Chains A and B, each alone.
Chain A
């Protein structure tokens, strides 16, 4: 087995406390009690539909923050 010398690699860590933020958009959309209702409606959309569509923003925010914070930590 050929193994390149590992000291050529820059030290890089994937671990970051910010990663825990990813749990939020995984758990929240799975709690049906939050959105399983018709009222209040928004632009005619029942809560069930508009709130679940709004969770997309939650997911985008969390992944963006984790990516940006990861970049800062590794200094690139």
Chain B
């Protein structure tokens, strides 16, 4: 326990420094007036390449990732490594898509993905569905950031809910005050800490464990000893799952409202393009972090058990505790803890913007001013965080993990309207609504039917859907989100054809082809009158 005191002191000091930065951030590149969503929610839409790199990197590679991905390798082996091809594939995949989204959002002053759908398809109903999907997918993600902090606190022997509540209260306060500027500034510290920790970990820990070769051999020996379908390589039945999960996750990533927030906050198309080449630096980091799971096997780490259940998320913090001197272990915990704050802040801002733009302004107060929008968003960001804390404290954290799994599948159902919508106006709004409904139903139904004997789950046990359940004579599994998206697309196409044949009224498109190629300095449409009917 005495060793933990040093760790706690180092952790607390770094945490407080960062919190101070969060409050000061409101003055960073201060505009005349913070009272608009462009300023509070998007940092003035002026971030250059470096700030965007730190911001988006801090946004996408979350504390939960850093804790859960190695935990996945620790438990199941190679299948957990899908996170690497996922983050390699994503940037070339979205390279051309995101610059179109940035341009159209720049011209029309859009803040959320639902804003775009509203203007493109002239359908408030479809926009509302997209906004709700985004909210439902983001909320458990915020809650999961708490799981990252919790794993660290547990390892330091800190018990009780109070430290967690204090950490989140501080976060809520400076996000309220500074908006997106707070996570953007903190992201510098977070990433610097993470890079230092990982570089030290991948150089130093293998020397303690007899080199990389013996780390992989230890992992192999562990998996060989168990009958479960795990191992340091893939087997015949999980390869389809591996690639569909990697590709499906890549397609889903930039549909999340918080990813879009990071992209829209950048200054120009060039900033986004440069970042598509620079962000993979984090993928390298993630790949190496994933391997901490195998180091934990080689170092014979056992997860902390609480209430009869082993918490595998504690393996990485425990590995650091065992391998590093106390003061450096404290630094690593701070890196994970602060790593949770950046994405949690951006996610709550993104969720708040969705509520403000697509629910409050659309349905409650249509003539809301910029200042009113910012005020509502600030309060919504607080509500979202309180909700996340309550979910973690009152309900089993496993519930958030299940919800986050569902989140990835459901956010993918916004792809036809948001991503394909950037390229084509072919779809009819009725077809897209039908496709969304079918995709959601199919996705949730499939996830419900995934059992996981390892965690004693009869339902929602993972995202690997067994093809045998469709009557196919195979043991292969596939990513449920991928199948659900296929259902969605088929229904959307069929629905569009039917709607056209039945001469159903379609919404008006408020965007023009040139809007999708506009860049910094091009004129904006300040007040677009969104056409369409309820």
Contact = CB atoms under 8 A, between A and B. Distances in A.
A, B from the same assembly: yes
Interface of A: 1-4, 6, 8-9, 12-14, 19, 22-26, 29-30, 32, 36-38, 41, 43-46, 48-49, 52-53, 55-56, 58-60, 62-64, 66-67, 70
A59 to B, nearest CB: 5
Contacts of B233: 36-38, 46, 48
B89 A26 contact: yes
6 contacts: A14-B99, A30-B247, A32-B234, A36-B233, A44-B212, A67-B274
4 closest A-B pairs by beta carbon, nearest first, are A44-B213, A44-B212, A22-B92, A29-B85
Interface stretch (B316-324, B483-491, B493-501, B526-534): B526-534
B85 A49 contact: no
Interface of B: 78, 81, 84-85, 88-89, 91-93, 95-96, 99-100, 211-216, 220, 232-234, 239, 242-243, 246-247, 273-274, 276-277, 280, 283-284, 287-288, 291, 510, 512, 514, 516-519, 522-523, 525-529, 531
B523 A53 contact: no
Contacts of A56: 88, 280, 283-284, 287
B525 A32 contact: no
B526 A1 contact: no
A45 B216 contact: yes
Contacts of B514: 6, 9
B273 A70 contact: yes
B93 A63 contact: no
Given A8-B523, A30-B89, A52-B84, 14 more contacts: A2-B526, A2-B527, A19-B96, A22-B93, A23-B92, A44-B211, A45-B212, A48-B78, A48-B81, A53-B84, A55-B85, A56-B280, A60-B277, A63-B95
Nearest to A67: B273
Most chain-B CB neighbours within 10 Å: which of A2, A45, A59? A59
B285 to A, nearest CB: 10
A53 B287 contact: yes
Contact of A64 (B211, B277, B284): B277
Contact of A2 (B81, B214, B277, B528): B528
A59 B282 CA distance: 13
A59 B277 CA distance: 8
Given A19-B96, A53-B284, A55-B88, A30 B243 contact: yes
B277 A63 contact: yes
Nearest to A57: B280
A58 to B, nearest CB: 8
B517 A22 contact: no
Contact of B92 (A1, A4, A9, A63): A63
A12 B213 CA distance: 52
A14 B96 contact: yes
Contacts of B84: 52-53, 55
Contacts of B274: 67
A60 B522 contact: no
B464 to A, nearest CB: 15
B287 A22 contact: no
Contacts of B214: 44
A46 B217 CA distance: 10
B213 to A, nearest CB: 3
A12 B523 CA distance: 14
B512 A6 contact: yes
B74 to A, nearest CB: 15
A1 B246 contact: no
B88 A29 contact: yes
